[in-house]
Chains A and B, each alone.
Chain A
Amino acid sequence: MSALEILGLSLLALFVLAGALGTVLSKNLVHSVLWLALALVATAGIYVRLTAGFLAGAQVLLYAGGVITLAIFAVMLSARIEGGPIPNESAKRGRGALVALAVAGLFGGVLLQADVLAPRDLPVVDAADIGRSFLGEYVLPFEVLSVLLVAAMIGAIVIARREDP
């Protein structure tokens, strides 16, 4: 890896980390949502580095465009709409930090042990390959997904619809 690349990757990692921490630690719910957006978009950047361009595009489109938008909607529809920040005080931060550190330590330790850090040539998987495997090898999960989406849609309507007159 060239120095430039290392710099870029470190920056991305920093963004993901800052976004994640900001999401959890921010005392303002609205800021939390925006930090989350940062983390998600930066993750897409890491996908780009892993030569998964399609995944990166889908990540931004679906997460930043879809999930974050819905989160914003949820914030605006559930909280009072004017005047000052919406408090978002997380309880038990100390314990949370402890668990997070422990998990990070565990996974970090395992990753360091495993030989995943060795440089290797990454296969380039383009959108056409993904499409082919969806309609070939993985056609059954793909079809089940469509049923899942129907179930989700019906479920959302059931929950959101006004109570019977």
Chain B
Amino acid sequence: MNVLFGSPALHALVLGVGIVSALLGVTSYFIWFERKFAGRMQSRIGPKHVGPYGLLQPIADAFKLLIKADITPDTADRALFNLAPLLAVCVALLSLAVLPLASGLVIADLDVGVLFFLAAGALTVVPTWMAGWGSNNKYALLGGMRAIAQSVAYGVPLVLAALVPVILSGSMKLSDIVAAQAGGHWFALWPPGPGLGAGVLFVLASLAEGNRIPFDIPEAESELVSGISTEYTGMKFGMFYLGEYVHSLVVAALFVTLFLGGYDGPGPDVLALQLLWFVLKVSLVSVLLLWVRWSYVRLRSDQLMTLCWKYLLPSGLLLVAASAVWVWWTEQGGSR
């Protein structure tokens, strides 16, 4: 394994702490950006009072969450209720471990990286459900149930979508997948069809697995008050909020890694430039996702299931088959 510091353990520790802290910082300003963005989309201005352009707003928000009363409902299952927010953030951060930010800049370049992030994604249901059940509140519980139904369903197309880059690159190691796309051979562009289709599928499925709009029925505020976070207050609520945003950033980063060539970009292969490309791409994708989020309406529960089982799943199977045929054809001597 490519190690920057003395031992793999030290390497993982230093990078892990660094990346997680950076990400948490980025996340709070991502939230600020989203509020500004949403404001503009709705002909508002967004936060502007705290600091210039409201730039200190995230800090004020965090402070507010910290000093708010921390309430645990009497009838709640205390252990589950209190553990859930913590786990939600941890699970959301897990996928970071295998994400290559630049050549060699990865916490643990596992051979089964793709599988790792799929597994980490599958774990997100556990905290969601702990919160839904532990709150002992019917809205929270309904939210939890919806989240699980959604997660079970969308886990399948997600795996299929992630399988396409694995087939095309012949590896489950994320750094290999990035290397296979080097020089602009991004999977979203080439081969035409399977790559782009799988990319779209991937984004849809991960948004649904992460319960983001337009798939946020688990906390549909017009029906379920606030879904699983109904009973949460103070920093515990904040952690759910944080987990959700971390998740959407991680999804964007993975999308970039799997389909948009990761840190690949024009210019010499220097670490700083690679990092720049990566951050640029992730930012662009994130903005795109925000755009979707603030433009589309929420799907109904049954529409969500129909979309998954009747459309996404079959197209996922088709895409996998198509990419397998593509690989076979190129190996048979077809032109690249």
Contacts and interface: CB of A to CB of B under 8 A. Distances in A.
A and B touch in the complex (CB under 8 A): yes
Contacts of B159: 61
B132 to A, nearest CB: 9
A57 B115 contact: yes
A64 B119 contact: yes
B145 A76 contact: yes
- How would you classify the secondary structure of chain A's contact residues: helix, strand, loop or mixed? helix
Interface residues of B, number: 32
A65 B209 CA distance: 12
B259 to A, nearest CB: 20
B111 A82 contact: no
B26 interface: no
A34 interface: yes
A37 interface: yes
A30 B80 contact: yes
B77 A73 contact: no
A41 B155 CA distance: 18
A127 B111 contact: yes
Given A57-B115, A72-B148, A82 B125 contact: no
A66 B138 contact: no
Contacts of A68: 125-126
B99 interface: no
B141 A64 contact: no
B118 A69 contact: no
Contacts of A28: 77
Interface in B103-118: 110-112, 115-116, 118
Given A53-B110, A54-B112, A54-B115, A66 B129 contact: no
A58 interface: yes
Contacts of B125: 65, 68-69, 72
Contact of A65 (B123, B133, B149, B172): B123
A69 B116 CA distance: 18
Nearest to B117: A57
A60 B130 contact: no
B145 A57 contact: no
A126 interface: yes
B118 A57 contact: yes
A72 B129 contact: yes
Given A53-B112, A65-B122, A82 B148 contact: no
Interface residues on chain A, size class: 20 to 34
A111 interface: no
A84 B172 CA distance: 44
A106 to B, nearest CB: 33
Interface core residue of A41, A54, A69, A85 (most chain B CB under 10 Å):
A69
A76 B126 CA distance: 14
Nearest to B170: A128
A85 B77 contact: yes
Given A61-B122, A69-B125, A127 B155 contact: no
B110 A82 contact: no
B75 interface: yes
B152 A58 contact: no
Interface string A60-97: 11001110111011001000011111000000000000
B169 interface: no
Contacts of B155: 65-66
A17 B115 CA distance: 26
A126 B155 CA distance: 23
Residue in B75, B115, B130, B141 with the greatest tally of chain A CB atoms within 10 Å: B115
B112 A64 contact: no
Nearest to B119: A60
A143 to B, nearest CB: 17
Given A30-B77, A85-B77, A127-B172, A69 B123 contact: no
B136 interface: yes
Contacts of A4: 9
Nearest to B79: A31
A34 B155 CA distance: 20
B110 to A, nearest CB: 6
Given A81-B138, A82-B138, A85-B77, A53 B111 contact: yes
Nearest to A28: B77
16 contacts: A28-B77, A31-B80, A34-B130, A53-B112, A57-B112, A57-B115, A64-B122, A65-B118, A65-B123, A65-B125, A66-B122, A66-B152, A69-B125, A73-B152, A83-B136, A126-B112
Given A66-B155, A73-B148, 5 more contacts: A30-B133, A41-B123, A69-B151, A81-B141, A127-B172
Closest 10 CB pairs of A and B: A65-B122, A57-B115, A60-B119, A61-B119, A57-B112, A53-B112, A54-B112, A57-B119, A61-B122, A69-B152
